């Protein structure tokens, strides 16, 4: 066996398709030693990104749209994989499997009958690449009473945990989630709330690009304390874990309701939203005595956001996961490569203390080529 897996992640930020090539091996002490060999980000075509964004909210004839977009997404995934193989001079037969998250269009963990949907026709992805695909990772956890999220803490534990330091791994995508790796304690983790999603929406609404590069637009504004308090008043931030959320909840309509009482300057809104993401993370961690905070996801490159986090955690070392050997952009895709590996090795991919599931289970389903 080659031990080579491809991980694919396209997150709630809708910035594109992240791919990683990982070799999973063992040390002499039988410890897992994943080796990240290469990574690639391919932006979504504009129309596909717009259609995916449309599917995160209810709309007319959305079932028809979902069917069409699911096929386009699978073809986009397959094109990315085939480019990746060519770049690395690999044939499909050299890859054990693709671990693909799919694109979340609904995540309703608090519904009367909780459900989650990640789209992308995995049979088509397998057929177009001639590689076995492992996908649909969240629904089995939900079948056992869990929220199906977050799933990355098990991977964070496998590669980032250390016996001598209380580490937190913070992923800031469209939604932010955190993993608490406390020595000699069960792993904990949950969604803290909005990550980049509301910030991205606001700057797009101003016609200033898809995201706030380096936080420069936020830096031109001022924090509005009344707006910040209003944003933080949402009941989600008082919930205890396990908890998870998505763009279906923290969406443009939610933000519009918070803004309707006052006419704020656009740059001040951007600055306040940036602080809001940082402050909601602080609220989530409460009095946790973490020693190190490692950031991954697109938010790791927002300098204003990172400065806010360092201000809010003055006694904690705040760094990117690159200092641990995995670039901020690559962590989530690598997690889904690991989940495919875990499926093959029959290793549970969820942590009941994190998701609320009744037991730890092997996650995913296989789609043959």
Is residue 11 a known part of a binding site?
A: yes
Is residue 4 a known part of a binding site?
A: no
349 token code pair: 């991919």
Is residue 15 a known part of a binding site?
A: yes
Is residue 193 a known part of a binding site?
A: no
Q: Which residue has the tokens 């695909």?
A: 133
- Cα dist from 245 to 119, 200, 242, whole Å: 18, 17, 11
168 token code pair: 């937190």
Is residue 18 a known part of a binding site?
A: yes
Contact 193, 237 (CB under 8 A): yes
Is residue 12 a known part of a binding site?
A: yes
CA distance 172 to 174: 7
Task: Please compute Rg for the chain using Cα positions.
Answer: 20
Question: Which residues make Cβ contacts (< 8 Å) with residue 212, sequence separation at least 6?
Answer: 199, 200, 203, 218, 270, 274, 302
CA distance 291 to 293: 7
Cβ of 289: how many Cβ atoms within 10 Å? 9
Binding annotation: 11-18
Binding annotation for ATP: 11-18
């Amino acid at each position: 066996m080659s031990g080579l897996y491809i991980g694919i992640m396209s997150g709630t930020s809708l910035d594109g398709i992240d791919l990683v090539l990982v070799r999973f091996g063992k040390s002499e002490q039988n410890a897992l030693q994943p080796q990240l060999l290469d990574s690639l980000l391919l932006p979504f075509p504009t129309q596909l990104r717009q259609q995916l964004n449309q599917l995160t909210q209810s709309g007319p004839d959305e079932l028809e749209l979902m069917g069409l977009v699911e096929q386009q997404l699978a073809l986009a995934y397959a094109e990315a994989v085939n480019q990746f193989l060519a770049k690395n001079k690999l044939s499909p037969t050299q890859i054990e499997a693709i671990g693909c998250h799919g694109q979340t269009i609904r995540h309703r963990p608090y519904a009367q009958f909780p459900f989650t949907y990640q789209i992308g026709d995995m049979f088509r992805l397998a057929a177009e690449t001639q590689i076995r695909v492992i996908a649909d990772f969240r629904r089995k956890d939900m079948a056992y009473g869990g929220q199906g999220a977050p799933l990355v803490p098990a991977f964070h534990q496998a590669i980032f945990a250390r016996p001598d330091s209380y580490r937190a791994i913070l992923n800031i995508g469209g939604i932010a989630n955190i993993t608490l790796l406390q020595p000699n304690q069960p792993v904990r983790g949950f969604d803290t709330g909005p990550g980049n999603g509301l910030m991205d929406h606001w700057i797009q609404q101003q016609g200033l690009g898809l995201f706030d590069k380096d936080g420069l637009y936020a830096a031109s504004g001022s924090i509005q304390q009344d707006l910040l308090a209003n944003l933080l008043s949402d009941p989600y931030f008082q919930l205890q874990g396990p908890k998870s959320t998505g763009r279906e909840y923290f969406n443009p309509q939610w933000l519009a309701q918070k803004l309707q009482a006052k006419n704020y300057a656009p740059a001040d809104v951007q600055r306040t939203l940036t602080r809001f993401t940082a402050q909601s993370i602080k609220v989530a961690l409460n009095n946790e005595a973490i020693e190190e905070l490692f950031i991954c996801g697109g938010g790791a490159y927002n300098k204003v956001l990172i400065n806010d986090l360092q201000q809010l955690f003055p006694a904690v070392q705040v760094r990117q996961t690159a200092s641990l050997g995995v670039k901020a952009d690559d962590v989530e895709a690598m997690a889904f490569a690991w989940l495919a590996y875990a499926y093959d090795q029959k290793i549970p991919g969820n942590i009941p203390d994190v998701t609320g599931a009744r037991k730890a289970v092997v996650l995913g389903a296989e789609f043959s080529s």
